[in-house]
Amino acid sequence: MKIAERLGIQIVESGFDPGVSGLIVRKDGKVFLGVNETDAAVRKRFTIAHELGHFTLHMGKTLPLGKPIFVDNVAARDQSSSRGLIPEEIEANKFAAELLMPHSFISRDVSKADPRKLVEDLADKYDVSQTAMTLRLTNLGYHLST
């Protein structure tokens, strides 16, 4: 993703354990962002955005500010965070959602979309999973008919 490159972050695709979606680590003055190579493209995109959230919000610019590493497994990110257990994960998810699905763009597109396939169309357009788009729309206060 271009934003990561501009921040000087190197993205590495790697074969993590199946439960690990991504990580971000600072080492020798450089920042490496790892994504699980076996994940689907939309999932990788969300992972990168989520890790950028940790970088921006939680890692600080220089040592010793912030944590030097975040490792995300699917359970911690998707389940604990949605149950409100880990504040940093909630923040990183919010950051990712706003980065990939900006509120103002979503508002504009929802008003023009076909309500019968709203989630499908918007997920396609924003290149995110339907799960991520459903969560985003719900969090923004839209009531989805299923």
| Residues 92-111 close enough to bind Zn ion by CB under 5 A | 92
Q: Pick the piece of the chain touching Zn ion (CB under 5 A) from 13-21, 66-74, 119-127, 131-139.
A: 66-74
Which residue, 88 or 121, has its beta carbon nearer to Zn ion?
88
Q: Does 4 bind Zn ion (CB under 5 A)?
A: no
The first and second tokens of residue 5, run together, are 């490159």
Q: Does 39 bind Zn ion (CB under 5 A)?
A: no
Q: Which of 127, 70, 138 is nearest to 99 (CA)?
A: 127
Q: In the chain, what is the straight-line distance between the N-terminal and C-terminal CA atoms, in Å?
A: 32
Q: Does 72 bind Zn ion (CB under 5 A)?
A: yes
Q: Does 33 bind Zn ion (CB under 5 A)?
A: no
CB under 8 Å to 87, separation ≥6 — which residues?
none
DSSP H or E run through 47: helix 41-58
**Can you give the binding site for Zn ion, defined by CB under 5 A?**
72, 89, 92
